[in-house]
Amino acid sequence: MSRRIQVNDNNVERALRKLKKILTENGKLQEVRDRQEYVKPTIKRKLAKNQAKRRWEKFIRSQQLPPRQY
């Protein structure tokens, strides 16, 4: 599927922002970044586990009461 982005008034920066937004919404930009370098399955699992741990810790922090300020 091809997309065309029209450049109006020589505003290339705006056209690039639109293109990047479209690619991000479709997930193509992330796919290109993922394919730039091979990541071994063990490293993928390790990264996923660390990300899950960070999400869990962030959730726990959000559930705690704020510290008392005397």
Q: Which helix (H) or strand (E) holds 14?
A: helix 12-26
pLDDT digits (tens, 9 = 90+) for 3-57: 788 888 888 999 999 989 998 999 888 898 889 999 999 999 999 999 999 999 9
- pLDDT at residue 1 above 70? no
Q: Give me the DSSP letters along 34-50.
A: HHTS---HHHHHHHHHH
How far apart CA 49 and CA 2 sit, in angstroms, is 36
How far apart CA 70 and CA 65 sit, in angstroms, is 15
> pTM for the whole thing?
0.53
